[in-house]
Amino acid sequence: MQAFEHPSSEAAWEAMWAPYDETTYRAVLDQIAADDVVLDIGAGDLRLARRAARVCRRVYAIEIQKELLELAARDEDTAPAENLVVLHGDARHLPFPRDVKTGILLMRHCTHFHLYADKLKAAGADSLITNARWRMGVEVIALQAERVPYQQLEMGWYACWCGATGFKPGPVEQLTPAVIEVVQEVIDCPKCQTVIV
């Protein structure tokens, strides 16, 4: 018998699936090029993966919940795309295909951002399209870009490789529009020590 997990736990939230709105899907699809090979992590019922397959060369879709994949297979209105490869399993443990160039992670409640970003980078992917760090909107992260150590950031918004985001305070006289508008990619932020991989 499987133990009941209260939906307020991080593990339960991460296991839940919910489709996003058209604006979110459009923001993702606008970032995909015709020659891309995409990996959709937590693909749910494949509604975004199928649309991405119409835009790019190949899509790998990983989904842990077999019921969602069965639901997608019963969808009579959507013929399976030849360039869509569906993988049933846990993305934390499955190896990522080596030809992936772009990852998609639409999961505002993701607690494994660091793991997925590391795996995508190791597979040679260039970018990750996600809403996992800021929990809103969609951002494109350059996976292979250099990141500055948090300690070198004087002041301003930061997004860390561990998945944490925040604002590093500093002297008020140094607060400029540029400081407010730019998000610096960092490593080794204060929350890095608490992130469990």
Q: Name every residue whose Cβ is closer than 8 Å to that of residue 114 and which is 6 or more positions away in sequence.
A: 161, 162, 163, 195, 197
Contact (CB, 8 A) for 69 and 86: yes
pLDDT for 1 = 37
pLDDT computed for residue 20 by the predictor: 84
Q: What is the pLDDT of residue 80?
A: 65
pLDDT confidence of residue 79: 59
Cβ atoms of 127 and 103 within 8 Å: the answer is: yes
Which residues lie closer than 8 Å to 25 by C-beta, 6 or more apart?
47, 48, 51
pLDDT at 5: 46
pTM (predicted TM-score):
0.84
Separation between Cα atoms, residue 36 and residue 57, nearest integer Å: 6
Q: Please report the domains of the chain, with CATH numbers, ordered by start residue.
A: 10-142 (3.40.50.150), 148-194 (no CATH)
pLDDT of residue 111: 86
* Binned average pLDDT, 10 residues per bin, the chain of 197 residues: 47 58 94 97 93 96 90 69 92 96 92 94 97 90 95 94 94 91 94 66
**Contact status, residue 133 vs residue 159, Cβ threshold 8 Å:** yes
